[in-house]
A and B are shown apart, each in its own frame.
Chain A
């Protein structure tokens, strides 16, 4: 069963609806003890990274999450929280990934936010089982995770290449919104729920 970290950063109705459509059971993680109730953990999040980090800290869940050995998936800002630092609010984050979250560069002639369907190239990670390379996912964000070949499991391009998905041990993050990315997005949620501990 999937536990959703409930720290008040954005609405999770679309996420829980997507899980329900896939027949995936879920519950809420409010305390450290709740983490033990679930086999898989999702950290959702929209909005401001620094504000989201503050909220996550207030739950007291940062250290227990970092110590987890079960599969963890951060979505959008939830993914960015797994990195070291975000330029959004100059925020120190969990540091699970030694990566930076940066603001897209206007000078590259791109519009900000990056909003809409963009294709990804993935590296055959189990999270992308059954997803064809070049498949489009729904993105909406102004900050991105810098490309790093060690942690990158899927790359997208917007002015420059950036990580659409990352992995380090049991920790996964996706920049796109699987709950809004059509059938391919739902496949990602299903694949995550199938990851072995």
Chain B
């Protein structure tokens, strides 16, 4: 049986992980490679690295980091942030990234999804969608929720699937950072609407939130950052609990 995936997300700036990370055994909490390795040892099924570097030199630094991660890591990982061209994606693929995640670039130029899928296969293309409820409608947002778009979330996700997205990473901006649980209502609607895997993101605060999202929705994976970084939820404990609730996990 296909396992439900647990995915820690790391923010990376200039090749270093940002946000406080509070791991007991970590020599260098800013080193994405060491952190990634630690997560793999704990039983993470996959990792997402989000590049938040804004400078022009960003690409080179990121490629070097991706190569270091691929050398060390024996689980799959996704790179997101600032990918706007086929060339960006190809450089990451050749450096060992298993998937790339695109967000704003896809909204601005939906044909990019099609081009990436044709060039590298649908399995390589994750479309990340940030959504927020505005006047009763789920609307796609950009720039970490600061910029609203015309797009309705459900329509955009359907379109992304049709254009060749291999997976959807759906972040509820209303839930993100609240630690009050995932947006199960929306996630359930989305998973019933499309036929590609969905990663739930935004709102994880407790182990029960993970159980809830897997029991109440058809999502394939759940992503979180701070609850893992600050060791509030140790991944082995989380997986044991999920297994106890008959949710298929990799132990």
Contact = CB atoms under 8 A, between A and B. Distances in A.
Interface residues of A, number: 36
B2 A46 contact: no
B2 A113 contact: no
Contact of A140 (B45, B67, B70, B123): B123
Which has the most chain B C-beta neighbours within 10 Å: A18, A113, A157, A185? A113
Interface string A5-44: 0000011011001101100000000000000000000000
A51 to B, nearest CB: 10
Given A11-B94, A13-B96, A186 B197 contact: no
Contacts of B45: 116-117
Nearest to A115: B197
A117 B96 contact: no
Contacts of A10: 93
A179 interface: yes
A180 to B, nearest CB: 5
A161 interface: no
A106 interface: yes
A119 B243 CA distance: 15
B2 A116 contact: yes
Interface in A145-197: 157-158, 177, 179-183, 185-186
B1 A18 contact: no
B220 interface: yes
Contact of A181 (B71, B74, B96, B196): B74
B247 to A, nearest CB: 13
Contacts of A136: 3, 250
